[in-house]
Amino acid sequence: MDHPVVAPPRRSRRRRLRRVLLARRRPVAALAAGLAVFVGLQAAAAPPPTLTPVVTAARDLPAGSVLTEHDLTLTSFAPGSVPDGAVTTAAATGRTTTGPVRRGEPLTDARLLHGSLLDGYPGTVAAPVRIADPGIVSLLRIGDRVDVVAADPQGRHEAELVAADAPVVALPRAEESMLASGGLVVLAVTDTTARRLAGASVSGYLSVVVTR
């Protein structure tokens, strides 16, 4: 008498599992599709972070630039990345930069002069001074203190100190200075010193020495 062949227990379990999965393949597929849709809806429903428009430089700006709307643009910043002291377009327009500003750099209150050029310098006037060497002017920064020296172009007289320890209050852009030669710097000086500077600029070459 022949005995029935009995499948190994492991193979039998695999067959039963396969039959169960085949019998329930539709519910399993529906569950997987539902989970995929749920995850997609959750991702789509998450709101994007709210960006904040910040006034930035539309181009590289030298120190002493008097800002116009063409110098400014709005750049979106992520939450938490907006710098302290950021100013509005209205607040920045017409103000003077305290130093060079790179394109894309945010404009803050620390980057702009406050109020008049002469704020903090009572009893002074703003004296524009044409310096013979524009390279020297490019080294200056607003707030520097300088001595102004007048040299005789003919070499007949020794160089003369015409202004001492004068603060730099503005550094106009080259296109704003209207002259091709030299570099323009605006100093806060007394009336007497301003007249002396005006006279020296007619008869001599002016140079500056940074004192602090």
Query: What's the number of domains the chain is made of?
Result: 3
58 plus 91 within the same structural domain: yes
85 plus 133 within the same structural domain: no
pLDDT score, position 59: 93
Q: What is the largest CA-CA distance in the chain?
A: 140
Integer Cα distance of 167 and 185 in angstroms: 10
154 plus 198 within the same structural domain: yes
Mean pLDDT within 62-90:
87
142 plus 200 within the same structural domain: yes
Integer Cα distance of 147 and 212 in angstroms: 10
Domain carrying residue 193? 125-210
pLDDT score, position 178: 44
Is residue 119 in some structural domain? no
* Model pLDDT for residues 156-211, shown as the tens digit of each residue: 778 889 999 999 988 876 544 444 577 889 899 999 999 999 888 887 889 898 88
Task: For residue 193, give every residue at least 6 positions away whose Cβ sits within 8 Å of its Cβ, in sequence order, or none.
Answer: 127, 162, 163, 166
On the question of pLDDT at 104 being above 70, the answer is yes
Mean pLDDT within 24-43:
66
166 plus 190 within the same structural domain: yes
pLDDT score, position 175: 47
> What's this model's pTM, rounded to 2 decimal places?
0.51
* Alpha-carbon radius of gyration of the chain: 37
What ranges in 4-132 are assigned the alpha helix state H? 9-23, 25-45, 89-92
Question: Among 88, 111, 134, which residue terminates a domain?
Answer: 111
